[in-house]
Amino acid sequence: MNNREADAYTISPELPAMFDGMKMAAVATVLYIIVRCLNLKSPTAPPDLTYQDTPLSRFLLKSCPQLTKEYIPPLLWGKSGHLQTALYGKLGRVSSPNPSGVRMYLPMVDGATATFDLFEPMGNHQTGADITMVICPGIGNHSEKHYIRTFVDYAQKDGYRCAVLNHLGALPNIELTSPRMFTYGCTWEFSSMVGYIKRTYPQTQLIVVGFSLGGNIVCKFLGENMVNQERVLCCVSICQGYSALRAQETFLQWDQFRRFYNFLMADNMKKIILSHRHSLFGGSSGKTIDADLSRLYTATSLMQIDDNIMRKFHGHSSLKEYYEKESCVHYIHNVKVPLLLVNSADDPLVHDSLLAIPRTLAAKKSNVVFALTLHGGHLGFFEGAVLFPQPLTWMDKVIVGYANAMCQWEKQKPPCQSTDLSTKSSCTTEKA
């Protein structure tokens, strides 16, 4: 045996051990990345609540256990706000039902046609009252989205009538009848839907629900005019950002990949706008159309689209004016009815600095409860044991649980102590 063969013989036994060490190091690195990215070591906890100690708040926390019990997301991926958000955006909900409703069309004074879907309850409400949930979905969403269908089906089974606004221009098969589509804070269509429900069902009381952008719209709607709060039992807002002006800078940052989400939402807005190109730009001159479309095609953020297209629908002179006037932060303090504001700490779309708005409001106003979960992402809030989520989410359950508690509170109170503003005023008149 020559020297080369001897060297090979002496080295070869060491190679498997070296490769095994490399494999173990690689596996350990991958596991470390998985644990960090999926936040597997993050604890689970009940929502962090900010509220004032009142008889109503004590009743609500006792009657709505979702607000005080530990929220447990699926073990393997549910602690990642990105995966919660992505699964909501891609899948909506698991085993989504298909509730049967009627589409209603409401002509607006400017020639636009608002649409909403009306779903009757599947049984009597537990209090025996006639209750209607008026629901405003997230950006570019409508009644056919999976998360809306799942929530509506759940609410119907609990005895609620549901009216779901279809954002103007969001439904691909409904043509616009005026050169305008939904914007960040326009309340016209939602107001029209609420007015129809009040006229058609004079005995019904309202639960107002808003998801994401819809949360901004419903809070702004209630705060714009005290009349809007008549016959409203309460309002629930989920995962909104409260101030577009404050949020615009955070949306250009890369932490939590917020800039990437901004790009994706901008791309979706482009598709919606271009699908209504003729209705939105048909009455403009050729040069104006070319300029608007050129800026639209090159836009990579929602702010660019808002500045070049969206603000012009209502004649705002600047992006700052548009965001200032359409954000609920300037109106929400006028809301007198019970108000539940829900956000998630790992929501990649809503920067932590924006959460000071609802936290401060709840600390100052006795009608407001602010619930902040550790996990849930943006409109995710999936629940489950290890891998597969449950069909209903924590979000679905907390909205209906809070609504049930408010309805029970109203039933057991004397009429003159009702939170319904219209009932309060009639009691005052009788006393006088």
Q: What phi, psi does 389 have (nearest 5°)?
A: -80, 160
Structure tokens at 74: 């699926």
Using CB atoms within 10 A of its CB, is residue 171 exposed (0-12), middle (13-18) or buried (19+)? middle
Query: Which residue is catalytic, options 347, 351, 375, 420?
Result: 347
The residue type found at 300 is T
Task: Tell me, yes or no, if 418 is annotated catalytic.
Answer: no
Task: Tell me, yes or no, if 53 is annotated catalytic.
Answer: no
Structure tokens at 85: 């958000």
Which residues share a beta bridge with 107?
113
* C-alpha dist (Å) from residue 213 to 136, 267, 285, 328: 8, 17, 32, 10
The residue type found at 140 is G
Query: Which residue is catalytic, options 292, 351, 378, 396?
Result: 378
Q: Tell which residue, 231, 15, 56, has the closest CA to residue 134.
A: 231
CA distance 363 to 344: 18
Query: Which residue is catalytic, options 212, 237, 327, 418?
Result: 212
Q: Tell which residue, 351, 300, 301, has the closest CA to residue 81.
A: 351
Asked if residue 232 lies in contact with residue 208, where contact means CB atoms within 8 angstroms, the answer is: yes
Structure tokens at 12: 């070869």
CA distance 355 to 350: 8
| Cα 383 from chain centre | 17
Task: Tell me, yes or no, if 375 is annotated catalytic.
Answer: no
Half-sphere exposure of 255 (CA within 13 A, CB side): 7
Other beta carbons less than 10 A from residue 29's beta carbon: 10
Half-sphere exposure of 210 (CA within 13 A, CB side): 28
Element (H, E) at 48: strand 48-50
Active site residues: 212, 347, 378
